[in-house]
Structure 1
Amino acid sequence: MSQHKDLQKLSVAGLLISLGIIYGDIGTSPLYVFKAIVGNHTINETLVLGGVSLVFWTLTMQTTLKYVVITLRADNKGEGGIFSLFSLVRRKAKWLIVPAVIGGCALLADGIITPPITISSAIEGLEPLYPNIPTVWIVAAIITILFIIQQFGTSLVGKAFGPIMFLWFTMMGILGISYIAKMPVVFKALNPYYAYQLLHSSSSHAAFIILGAVFLCTTGAEALYSDLGHCGRSNIRISWIYVKSCLVLNYLGQAVWLMQHNGQKMDLNLYNPFFQIVPQQFYYGGVAIATAAAVIASQALISGSFTLISEAVRLNLWPKVRINYPSEQKGQLYVPSINWILCAGCLIVVALFQRSEKMEAAYGLSITVAMLMTTILVSKFLKRRKVPSYIIGTFLLVYLVIEGTFLAGNLVKFIHGGWFTLTIGLFLFGVMWCWHTARKIRNRFVKFVEIEDYFSILQELSEDESVPKYASQLVYLTSANFDSEVESKIIYSILQKQPKRADVYWLVHVDVMDEPYTREYRVDFLVPNKVIRVDFKLGFRVEQQINLLFRKVVEDLVKKGEVEIMSKYTSLNKHKIVGDFRFVVIEKVLSRSHGLSFFESMVMKVYQQLKHLSLSEERGFGLDLSFVTVEKVPLMLSNPEEVVITRMN
């Protein structure tokens, strides 16, 4: 933990790690941005200078001002990302879950398109030398290997990411300078007038297409905020100065090469401006470094997707799935189900679009939506920080206009490929929304009773030797938020389903906190040495290993002499043998009911299918299955109809 904190402070190591983790996506954009801006147009000064100007001001307004300056302030105990931001503001308004879920789904959809487009753009750099090279198969092979190695953890290769990305950005800056030196006048393109001139001189349809292409330069901006917890605000802000400088120099260098071919109509897929400014003697090295940077960009998106899903599971926005921790590195996790879904999605993209220029049409739409959602949530965060209303209003107005315009530009590409990421995003949204809504429907019908009314009978049952002892220590997981309540189903399980005599009854409640790494507990002795409640307060990034956490709590209580867990059986007590523990998990089964609307019925049917695919409650809470009893009880959604039947004799 201390080492992690050290890396968040401004340091050379922190800056290097920032380069390796954060800037893969935005750092590889020069591979395809200018190619997308020029497209099939004849190269002319207005197009080239206006293109550079739009890229520069997009990086300045969108990435620098919105994310680096403003959004990085919204840190949740050092953590960032759209769900961390949602956790900070969710108590302000219930509807904020909508932009949070939409933004999360859009980021996941982006994770499916980023690896194919970045790796394809790099590998296609070999085509001028090897026209018949099977780029599709090479890209598919690299993507497959990348997803296979996820299960082993990436901490070992991750150490090389920083130096490789430093080399990549330095190379881009030097290549840019080498061409800028031939035409220094290109710096005039940084004047916003040229951006205005390009958009003003183009038809509205052409202007939106150009904006859709320009937006690709800032698609990785969300990663700056998502990876706040790994690198720290200071390291991100300082390293971004270097990264932006190298990016702008490279774009200016590409602009010079394009200006040298003014008036020509070139096949930029074959003559990619990025690779055209690479010296011939260094060409292979340039392609190799570009490919390494593309793989690192893909890795960052994959790791980000794993973190996003793990947070969604803790916040009850995604079905419980298996999450592995392949290394000791903080934040390093592996979600098998998501890994193979992303892998399949990436390979479908490669098979469907085959070339990077066709993938450009599918790229950008989902991430624009994610940025819009972040804008809404950040405005709520600023309000929470008591920022003056006129500043919040200006922030909202400026960025809703900018991102709304980019969204319109990306929607123009809908039929050419934007439909793909939108379809993926809508599917993911459907899963999250159904899971969240079904949980609310179920909770509506969970009946709670006052536990105090049952203290005496529980005490009598515990001492009633005519009832066979079920377990020495009996543990129930409860969803009751107040220690004065308990689900009626738990009382039914103890007293009626099969009377369960135990020396001590434990009630365990897990509360997911708005902070990321909180790990606290509270103990209430409702009936001393008979009924004990333990409330765990766990951060939304903490693994819910209830088995281990509960054992630790019991050990602490025993050390302090607050509980007695020795077996009460005479033969075992004599030898100081600890009594047995048994967990009971009550699974609420949906009964046939006419008490739901058509919409709610459909949601519950989807929920049941998702439940079959997800981890069981006991596995999701990390319980030892050899000490768990699962009881299925009907979830009565309406009172049963009165039955009339006549006796014949």
Structure 2
Amino acid sequence: MEQHKHQEHKLSGAGLLISLGIIYGDIGTSPLYVFKSIIGDRLITEDLVLGGLSCVFWTLTLLTTIKYVIITLRADNKGEGGIFSLYSLVKNKAKWTIIPATIGGAALLADGIITPPFTVSAAIEGLAIRYPDISTLPIVLAILMAIFIIQQFGTNFIGKAFGPVMWVWFTMLAVLGSVHIAAHPEIIKSINPWYAYHILSEHPQSFAIVGGVFLCTTGAEALYSDLGHCGRANIRISWMYVKLCLMLNYWGQGVWLLSQTGHYLDGKVPFYSIMPEWFLFYGIAIATLAAIIASQALISGSFTLISEAVRLNLWPKVKINYPSLQKGQIYVPSINLILFLGCLAVLALFQTSEHMEHAYGLSITITMLMTTILVCVFLKKRHVSFYLIVLFAVVYFIVELTFLAGNLPRITHGGWFTVLLGSLLFVISWTWYQGRRIRNSQVNFVDLEKHAEILKDLSEDNSIPKFASQLVYLTNSHFKNEIEQSIIYSILQKQPKRADVYWFLHVSVTGEPYTSEYKVTHIEKGKIIRIDFRLGFRIAPAINVLFRKAVEDLVSAKEVDIVSRYTTMKKYGITGDFKFIVLEKDISDYSVFSLKDRLLMRFNNFLRRFSVPIDKGFGLDMSFVNTEKVPLAVNRRPNVSLTRMIDS
């Protein structure tokens, strides 16, 4: 079958521009709110300003540059990145990695709900400088509604403008900052890490300051998640420009803040305060466009995240659409609705960016911690020196746990929403994964070769009406000589199903993103055939299309004959009909499970009501599918004592 080859994204001007548009929306809009959060309601002092700048510089250096750009980008999965790509690389090394992967994925999805309203609000609220009585909430709501409505049509047509717009944004950041730095170049001395140490060790509210500082790197995870769209070289080079622009703007804000020493912010926004008055409307417009791009990037990233989670059995099967021909662009209606409702809840609860920032950052801190754990496993798998792995782990656990501690006090001021949201998403993901594991552990398998003779005889038994020319079942068995007992039950006992050929299809998800291959096993030549599909975790399981292609290959190689056996049809060489049988396994008796498993299965069954049916999930043609309900064969059955009574 056709292979999806990984194409290395070479360093180019176009690649750099695409990187600016796709990757840096979140981290690139951080100057809107970082110093507003660091200063808060605290008295502006030279120590606070220089210390905050030093913390920002070294956070961007340690976390974004060294951890993500230099180290984590090397953990590419055939050119793809992201926490689930990383999990796919290490899951065979340590089974427990499912835990940090699930936690990190849930936290990342929670961040995708909080980021759009926060970033757009922070940009639009600049209008209050000129119009103090304006209500920005309706404007933010209108922008978010437009963003979510447009998802179903695909964003390819506007995505081409993202790169140039973000280039204008970053250049604007650099110019605005440079103008102020030129007047007070001594501000650059804040690079000295002593200022960071001094403010964190001396200031009584150091942990609250740390929580504000962390906002400067919240988009770092996107550098890794979007590796497949841009390539390592383009990300690394573009980051050098982005970091310079960000720091120039932060230093410019620092110069303005030093001019306010001894005062409080009192509602002023450092980002907009460094703009000339005549430029304010232009600045707000560009900031709003950048915020929209940041929101779009988070939404698209959430779609990709869920599609990977579905393929890895970490999320219920949901409908996934492909609104354009652009590679990798997908639209998940259910997630789009969840994100939109979540954004509405954030707006209703917090209303302003000042209140939203308390809920922002906490979830992404957890994702970063989980990524650190998985990267350690990856480095071990790559046989990196044990001492280097320990050094990496110690440094980043200290840094990220410090940021987590700095964000924890925010729980009582709005961070509870992030915790609640992330916990709910984790419970859904974990329950789905565990429920599938429990179901699979209770399925009985039988030897397919021992049933080959009876299936062959059934195929030739003219006393039984033919059910289909080609009868196709999906099997979960990983072994070619095994089959579920429920499938044999369906063929032989529920209703004898005579067919010319019996096909058994198995789909396994590989740890690589774009694997697309199959293997054929002839159990009984011309009668019983098994096909094993190996699909990457980013390949849509369109089994109807893939199976047709495999059958065409087999017919061309004269390994199988699919011409109808009916006399008239055979005379004219007409292809026989194909019929898929999909088995839905029902649980009728929960008492055989432990209390924990019983609760898991109850909730899992509840989630299954909202998931896409198996046939739709595998992209089967509904006109050729029969769905049958069969009991889940449970291995552990209670001993039953039964005495027969005889009439005297």
TM-score range, shorter chain: over 0.9
> Structure 1 pair 7/291, CA: closer, same or farther in 2 (3 Å)?
farther
Asked if 1:476 corresponds to 2:473, the answer is yes
Name the residue aligned to 2:391. 394
Contact 1:584–1:628 (8 Å) recurs in 2: yes
Contact 1:4–1:230 (8 Å) recurs in 2: no
SS of 1:128's partner is: helix
Q: Deviations over 1:577-613 (max 9, x none)?
A: 1100000111110112321111111111111111011
Asked if 1:75 corresponds to 2:76, the answer is yes
Asked if 1:232 corresponds to 2:231, the answer is yes
Name the residue aligned to 2:587. 590
5+ residue gaps, structure 1: none
Asked if 1:287 corresponds to 2:284, the answer is yes
Asked if 1:139 corresponds to 2:143, the answer is no
Deviation, 1:636, is 3.4
**Segment drifting more, 630-639 vs 34-43:** 630-639
Deviation, 1:647, is 5.2
Contact 1:589–1:633 (8 Å) recurs in 2: yes
Q: How does 1:167-178 map to 2 (within 5 A)?
A: 167-178=168-179
Name the residue aligned to 1:164. 165
Contact 1:4–1:330 (8 Å) recurs in 2: no
**Segment drifting more, 138-147 vs 241-250:** 138-147
What RMSD, in angstroms, separates the aligned Cα atoms of the two structures?
Answer: 1.4
- d(CA) in 1 for partners of 2:410, 2:495: 62
SS of 2:584's partner is: strand
Asked if 1:430 corresponds to 2:430, the answer is no
Q: Deviations over 1:242-266 (max 9, x none)?
A: 0000000000000000101111123
- d(CA) in 2 for partners of 1:166, 1:346: 27
- d(CA) in 1 for partners of 2:590, 2:255: 70
Name the residue aligned to 2:637. 639
- d(CA) in 2 for partners of 1:67, 1:359: 26
- d(CA) in 2 for partners of 1:543, 1:643: 51
SS of 1:525's partner is: strand
Q: 1:441 aligns with which of 438, 449, 474?
A: 438
Name the residue aligned to 2:542. 545
Q: 1:410 aligns with which of 407, 411, 423?
A: 407
Asked if 1:485 corresponds to 2:486, the answer is no
Q: How does 1:346-385 map to 2 (within 5 A)?
A: 346-385=343-382
Contact 1:7–1:14 (8 Å) recurs in 2: no
Read off the aligned partner of 2:178 and give its amino acid letter.
Answer: I
Deviation, 1:642, is 4.1
SS of 1:8's partner is: coil
Asked if 1:60 corresponds to 2:61, the answer is yes
Deviation, 1:377, is 0.2
Deviation, 1:7, is 7.7
Asked if 1:124 corresponds to 2:125, the answer is yes
**Segment drifting more, 300-309 vs 450-459:** 450-459
- d(CA) in 2 for partners of 1:302, 1:153: 12
SS of 2:499's partner is: strand
Q: Deviations over 1:592-640 (max 9, x none)?
A: 2321111111111111111011000011000011111111111133426
Q: Deviations over 1:96-150 (max 9, x none)?
A: 0000000000000000110011100100001011112111111111111100000
Q: How does 1:78-157 map to 2 (within 5 A)?
A: 78-157=79-158
Name the residue aligned to 2:38. 37
Contact 2:359–2:416 (8 Å) recurs in 1: yes
SS of 1:594's partner is: helix
- d(CA) in 2 for partners of 1:3, 1:507: 24
SS of 2:508's partner is: strand
Asked if 1:192 corresponds to 2:193, the answer is yes
- d(CA) in 2 for partners of 1:490, 1:130: 69
Q: How does 1:245-644 map to 2 (within 5 A)?
A: 245-267=244-266, 269=267, 271-637=268-634, 638-639=636-637, 641-644=640-643
Deviation, 1:490, is 0.8
- d(CA) in 2 for partners of 1:596, 1:6: 48
- d(CA) in 2 for partners of 1:7, 1:20: 19
Name the residue aligned to 1:49. 50
Name the residue aligned to 1:213. 212
Q: Deviations over 1:138-164 (max 9, x none)?
A: 111111110000000001100000000
- d(CA) in 1 for partners of 2:46, 2:117: 31
SS of 1:630's partner is: strand
Q: Deviations over 1:473-515 (max 9, x none)?
A: 0001001101011111111111111111100000000010000
- d(CA) in 1 for partners of 2:642, 2:241: 77
Name the residue aligned to 2:25. 24
Read off the aligned partner of 2:494 and give its amino acid letter.
Answer: K
- d(CA) in 2 for partners of 1:586, 1:218: 48
- d(CA) in 1 for partners of 2:7, 2:552: 32
Contact 2:25–2:295 (8 Å) recurs in 1: yes
Q: How does 1:1-12 map to 2 (within 5 A)?
A: 8-12=9-13
- d(CA) in 1 for partners of 2:471, 2:215: 57
Contact 2:590–2:598 (8 Å) recurs in 1: no
Deviation, 1:644, is 3.8
Read off the aligned partner of 1:158 and give its amino acid letter.
Answer: G
- d(CA) in 1 for partners of 2:418, 2:336: 17
Read off the aligned partner of 1:109 and give its amino acid letter.
Answer: A
Read off the aligned partner of 1:254 and give its amino acid letter.
Answer: Q
- d(CA) in 2 for partners of 1:329, 1:642: 63
SS of 1:127's partner is: helix
Deviation, 1:646, is 3.0
Name the residue aligned to 1:202. 203
Contact 2:359–2:415 (8 Å) recurs in 1: yes
> Structure 1 pair 6/484, CA: closer, same or farther in 2 (3 Å)?
closer
Deviation, 1:4, is 10
- d(CA) in 2 for partners of 1:158, 1:7: 21
Read off the aligned partner of 1:212 and give its amino acid letter.
Answer: G
- d(CA) in 2 for partners of 1:502, 1:3: 34
**Segment drifting more, 237-246 vs 488-497:** 488-497
Q: Deviations over 1:253-297 (max 9, x none)?
A: 000001011111231x3x201001111111111000000000000
- d(CA) in 2 for partners of 1:278, 1:544: 51
5+ residue gaps, structure 2: none
Asked if 1:244 corresponds to 2:243, the answer is yes
Contact 1:568–1:579 (8 Å) recurs in 2: yes
Q: Deviations over 1:503-561 (max 9, x none)?
A: 00000000100000000001111110000000000000000000010011111111111
> Structure 1 pair 626/3, CA: closer, same or farther in 2 (3 Å)?
closer
SS of 1:516's partner is: coil
SS of 2:358's partner is: helix
**Segment drifting more, 62-71 vs 593-602:** 593-602
Contact 1:7–1:13 (8 Å) recurs in 2: no
Q: Deviations over 1:64-95 (max 9, x none)?
A: 00000000000000000000000000001111
Paired residues, what number?
645
Please give the TM-score of this superposition, normalised by the length of structure 1: 0.98
**Percent identical residues:** 62
Deviation, 1:571, is 1.5
Read off the aligned partner of 1:142 and give its amino acid letter.
Answer: I
Read off the aligned partner of 1:439 and give its amino acid letter.
Answer: R
> Structure 1 pair 435/40, CA: closer, same or farther in 2 (3 Å)?
same
Read off the aligned partner of 2:637 and give its amino acid letter.
Answer: N
Read off the aligned partner of 1:514 and give its amino acid letter.
Answer: G
